[in-house]
Amino acid sequence: MHLDVVNVIATVGTFVVIAASAVAALIQLRHMRGSNQITALNEFRETLESGEISDAQRFVSFVLPERMLDQAERLKMITLPFSGDYEKIGTIANLFESLGEFVKIGIIDAKIACDIWGVVVVRNWNALSPLTTYIRTTLGIPQLWENFEYLTILAKRYLERYPNGTYPSNMPRMPEDRRLLDTIKQDPGPRPTP
């Protein structure tokens, strides 16, 4: 064999080893990213399901919009820093601000976040939108909760794209159990509060 042929074979062999190492490194990085995403998703889910956050979400989504109709309550809610029940506003807005940041920088996949929490994100944003606008305008902080806003836009687009959910169209559905629905239609009685 000529020395030139040996050099070519060695060069090609080196290239193959380097390329295989690069591919293995990319696969390992992808697995690490997936592992980090699972950890972040789990931690966010656990936080969201905690008693404190569940209570804060109920307040923001269902109580706050009612209180916005009352002038005295509006004055309380715009007094910063938030106090009393209104501290829950910051808790929820900051929680979704963090999730929005994780989505924006790629720690959590946007499609996964929107599929799991899209409805919750939009509901909370809608409840806080008048207050967010007020604070941004009066304090001159247009970037306040911008990652929460970004996540809400993604979630709204996702929900518009999948208005009936993402259940696979080729899969059968479980039969509906209409007993409760039919019973309530017959005797509506008092409605549960959220």
170 domain-assigned:
no
SS (H, E, C) the chain: CCHHHHHHHHHHHHHHHHHHHHHHHHHHHHHHHHHHHHHHHHHHHHHHCCHHHHHHHHHHHHHHHHHCCCHHHHHHHCCCCCCHHHHHHHHHHHHHHHHHHHHHCCCCCHHHHHHHHHHHHHHHHHHHHHHHHHHHHHHCCCCCCHHHHHHHHHHHHHHHHCCCCCCCCCCCCCCCCCHHHHHHHHCCCCCCCC
Number of domains in the chain: 2
188 domain-assigned:
no
Q: What is the mean pLDDT of the chain?
A: 86
pLDDT of 82 higher than 90: yes
Q: Are residues 127 and 62 in the same domain?
A: yes
Q: Are residues 25 and 55 in the same domain?
A: no
| Structure confidence by residue, pLDDT tens digits, 153-173 | 999 999 999 999 999 999 999
Q: Give the pLDDT of residue 12.
A: 57
pLDDT of 25 higher than 60: no
- Mean pLDDT over 42-55 rounds to 92
What gap in Å lies between CA 67 and CA 143, rounded to an integer?
25
Q: Are residues 66 and 23 in the same domain?
A: no
- Mean pLDDT over 38-65 rounds to 93
103 domain-assigned:
yes
132 domain-assigned:
yes
Q: Are residues 64 and 99 in the same domain?
A: yes
Q: Are residues 88 and 4 in the same domain?
A: no
Q: Which range marks the domain in which residue 6 is found?
A: 1-37
For residue 54, what are the CA distances in angstroms to 3, 80, 103? 73, 23, 22
Q: Give the pLDDT of residue 187.
A: 73
57 domain-assigned:
yes
Q: Are residues 22 and 74 in the same domain?
A: no
Q: Are residues 62 and 33 in the same domain?
A: no
